[in-house]
Amino acid sequence: MLLSQVQIDQFHKDGFLVLKAFADPKECDTILSLAKSHLERKTEPLESEKEYQRDNALSSAVRRLRQVYDREESFKSWMKNKEIKPLLQQLLQDEPVLLLAHHNSIMTKQANESTITYWHQDIRYWNYKNDNLLSVWLSLGDEFLDNGLLEFIPGSHKMNFTSEQFDERLSFKEELSKNQEIISKRVHCNLEKGDIVLFHAKVLHYAHKNKTDKAKISFVYSLRAKSNLPLKNTRSNYKEIIL
């Protein structure tokens, strides 16, 4: 399978691309079952909602399982999926290298305990020669606005922002009028089990709290172009896998 030129152009124009029914549903079920087991045991390393909340009602619910590549063979197998590599080569215009420093995670929005994922660019904490990086988001079940579906701002990966447009956490300030105009362009696409989203490291994205009674669990990992090297003495200069 290869992307059409229309799909490639859409990714470069919008900063993201949705591919429906890409992953095998049985593989998704296996990943989901294992992810739930790790979440129930709160297997480290992980991040909790305490690290993201901005009020005093702190929750100890797990937000993210980190370093999942080395946790289970099923996780590793998905991240090295042979069918997706040609697509990544098309978008990166280079050989893809799997990053284990960033994302490499099971992401969750726990029922009634999750927090908002504020508008941000993933590249805020990354350090590479350039911004030729992207992420692969796998939906392990239904994702929609009420349970924390990702929203994107098309073309925001090509916009030039000033530091004043971001807060101390490097989240995009929603109270600024010039930011509000940009945020008004937000879009979303409901996802089902096996759908994937490919998105650029600089595209602005956001997700609401999970307002339902069922957890939303997803899998995300990131890649760089082989020529886009990590900067030395930064957290990005970490173990990697050449696909």
Contact 217, 106 (CB under 8 A): yes
Closest-CA residue to 68 (of 161, 167, 136): 136
- Which residues of the chain fall below pLDDT 70? 51-59
C-alpha span between 241 and 159 (Å, rounded): 30
pLDDT in the model for residue 56: 54
CATH of the domain at 169: 2.60.120.620
C-alpha span between 34 and 107 (Å, rounded): 13
Q: Which amino acid is at 218?
A: S
- Show the CA angle centred on residue 17, arms to residues 214 and 25, nearest 5°: 45
As given in the structure block, the two tokens for residue 35 are 């992810």
Domain with 60, as residue range(s), is 5-242
pLDDT in the model for residue 55: 58
Closest-CA residue to 243 (of 71, 76, 113): 76
* Residue 61 Cα to chain centre, angstroms: 19
Single pTM value for the model:
0.95
What length is written for the chain? 243
Convert the pLDDT of each residue in 105-143 to its tens digit: 999 999 988 889 999 999 999 999 999 999 999 999 999
Number of domains in the chain: 1
